[in-house]
Structure 1
């Protein structure tokens, strides 16, 4: 077959070039949309992480305050407990 058989006519090359250009523009538009979505998701993720950090700090602070309160209560209770050692064993007796 002659070489001209495999050659693409110039009018087809123009159409193919236009189709490729349209496809490139479509892909660039999709990429722009994807970039916007990624940006929005990152902003939302930062907000959620900030909220989680606040909740974690509050929870730890509450836990620490409760622990301190429990420690004080436990210390007060322990001061009311007398140790009885009789015949080699130890028993704890709560004294209100």
Structure 2
């Protein structure tokens, strides 16, 4: 789910800033809430959706069953997840 509001409590959250988009991953509400982890800041408009696509692709290829993105990140580790993405190609 993509959200520009409540960006800390969504699977993928976007927060606009004057310098670009800040991308959060792994948030969720419910009985066991989880704040999303900040993946990257200052992603330009023309690259942010490509980054979202890459996050979804990695999740789809590696998550199990109905595992939420936040649970997947907790299982493999956020730093490990970050290492799967070439974040340099998405920032200025």
**Which structure has the highest helix share of the two?**
1
TM-score class, shorter: under 0.3
Relative to the length of structure 1, the TM-score reads: 0.24
Relative to the length of structure 2, the TM-score reads: 0.25
Q: In terms of Rg, which structure is larger?
A: 1
Higher relative contact order (CA 8 A, sep 6+): 2
**Which structure has the highest strand share of the two?**
2
